[in-house]
Amino acid sequence: MLPAPHFSAFNPPRRILMGPGPSDVYPEVLAAQARPTVGHLDPLFVGMMDELKSLIQYAFQTKNEMTMAVSAPGSAGMETCFVNLVEPGEKVIVCRNGVFGERMRQNVERVGAIAVVVDNEWGTPVDPAAVEAALKANPDAKFLAFVHAETSTGALSDAKTLCALVKQYGCLSIVDAVTSLGGVELRVDEWGIDAIYSGSQKCLSCVPGLSPVSFSPAAVEKLKNRKTPVQSWFLDQSLVMAYWTSAGGKRSYHHTAPVNALYALHESLRLLAEEGLENAWKRHQDMHLVLRAGLEKLGLKFVVAEASRLPQLNAIYIPEGVDDAAVRARLLKDYNLEIGAGLGALAGKAWRIGLMGFGARRENVALCLRALEEVLN
Ligand SMILES: *Cc1c(COP(=O)(O)O)cnc(C)c1O
């Protein structure tokens, strides 16, 4: 027998999360998650799932039937899109202007497909002209994949224009909306997006671990006409949807849904619907402007040019001679405040201040500015 370890219950402090995610969770969402667990085929739970699907459709602004939440984080949503839609040997144009575009490229390679990379400098948006040139040069390409809101740099790409190009060249689009959903304008049906995924822990301010996903009718057609089975059993949408749709009132077991986490997502999306999507987009922008004014007063400079700056992810250069890790450690220790470190090419060079979901509010902005001012002096 191994001796039994004795620990006290884990009681984390209440931090203020202003990094790249997870963001501050709504108190109502934490309360929802603590409600009694029911069976994942309980008729009451199934009713909640139907509402959850409508709420995800609202957040994405889509009528897509194939809309659900993957029982895993945003990275699994990314993988869901690639493994279901892309077949070995197919060509995918991948836009890379930060960490997550590079991960999309790796997904393409892992499904045995061919990635044609369109590179844009870190901190800049995806360039539609470069994308059009790649679409012209690769008439056999089947997909264009890009990140709407690059969390590693804070750059927003023009999803509407990019998706219009995709349609014009007869391809399907795969869009990463992990950080954009709920924080900036996003209209899946109007912009003609074919496959999209997000994450629960960024602008939805839900607990981490779920990924809303939606496929257009054209993407569903592509999935139906596959010549090879989806190599991932767990992420195979044709199997998962038997659980997420109550065809003839019957759902079948695929995997045990993360019951309590889905209560949490239901509550966070319900709060988003109550606020109204457009009001939420405006609140993120308003809080960004307040933060920007304060950061500029402190002499801090943004990584991204104003026209393509994400309101919910503010990447700023670390001032000359300032100890990156020491500042972030003091913010955490003295103010219970978490801001993000730089990622990839911006590691050690930038901080990332998130204003996501419940975190995008005046008191957070004020605390962050005061704490930065005190620590930097
Ligand atoms: C956070 C993030 C992901 C990954 O999501 P996880 O929930 O961490 O797996 C993917 N893409 C973007 C743009 C992100 O910001």
Distance from chain centroid for Cα 79: 13
Distance 339 CA to ligand 1 centre (A): 16
Quote the Cα angle for 200-206-212, to 5°: 25
pLDDT tens per residue across span 330-349: 999 999 999 999 999 899 99
Distance 323 CA to ligand 1 centre (A): 27
Once rounded to an integer, what is the mean pLDDT over residues 89-96?
98
Distance from chain centroid for Cα 257: 20
Distance 325 CA to ligand 1 centre (A): 23
Residues 6+ apart with CB under 8 A from 274: none
Using DSSP, state whether 146 is helix, strand or coil: strand
- The domain segmentation of the chain, as residue ranges, is 16-22+277-376, 27-273
Using DSSP, state whether 220 is helix, strand or coil: helix
Quote the Cα angle for 121-127-132, to 5°: 135
Report the Cα–Cα distance between both ends of the chain, in Å, rounded. Answer: 55
Query: Given a cut of 70, is residue 269 above it in pLDDT?
Result: yes
Element (H, E) at 211: strand 211-215
Q: Is the CB of 181 under 6 A from ligand 1?
A: no
Q: Is the CB of 179 under 6 A from ligand 1?
A: yes
Position 241 confidence tier, pLDDT thresholds 50, 70, 90? confident
Q: Is the CB of 79 under 6 A from ligand 1?
A: no
Phi, psi values for residue 356, rounded to 5° = -115, 130
Once rounded to an integer, what is the mean pLDDT over residues 265-288?
98
Q: Is the CB of 24 under 6 A from ligand 1?
A: no
- pTM for the full model? 0.97
Report the percentage of the chain scoring pLDDT > 90. Answer: 96
Query: From 3.40.50.300, 3.90.1150.10, 3.40.190.10, 3.40.50.970, which CATH number describes the 16-22+277-376 domain?
Result: 3.90.1150.10
Distance 274 CA to ligand 1 centre (A): 25
Predicted local distance difference test score (pLDDT) of residue 252: 86
Predicted local distance difference test score (pLDDT) of residue 248: 63
Distance 74 CA to ligand 1 centre (A): 5
CATH class of 27-273: alpha beta
Please give the torsion angle defined by the CA atoms of residues 57, 61, 66 and 68, in that order, rounded to the nearest 10 degrees: -40
Q: Which residues pair with 211 in a beta bridge?
A: 70
Give the torsion sign (CA, 192, 278, 58, 98).
positive
Q: Is the CB of 178 under 6 A from ligand 1?
A: yes
* Alpha helical stretches, state H, 119-227: 128-137, 159-168, 188-191, 217-224
Nearest residue (CA) to ligand 1, atom 5: 74
Q: Which amino acid, one-letter code, is at 136?
A: K
Q: How far apart are CA 308 and CA 203, in angstroms?
A: 18
352 assigned ligand-binding residue: yes
Sort strands 114-119 and 91-96 into parallel, antiparallel or unpaired.
Answer: parallel
The answer to whether the 16-22+277-376 and 27-273 domains have the same CATH topology is: no
Bond prior to 22 in cis (omega within 30° of 0): yes
Distance 346 CA to ligand 1 centre (A): 17
Position 250 confidence tier, pLDDT thresholds 50, 70, 90? confident
Task: Please report the atom of ligand 1 found closest to the CA of residue 78.
Answer: 10
Q: How far apart are CA 50 and CA 213, in angstroms?
A: 15
Q: Is the CB of 199 under 6 A from ligand 1?
A: yes
Q: Is the CB of 77 under 6 A from ligand 1?
A: no
Once rounded to an integer, what is the mean pLDDT over residues 1-7?
96
Q: Is the CB of 212 under 6 A from ligand 1?
A: no
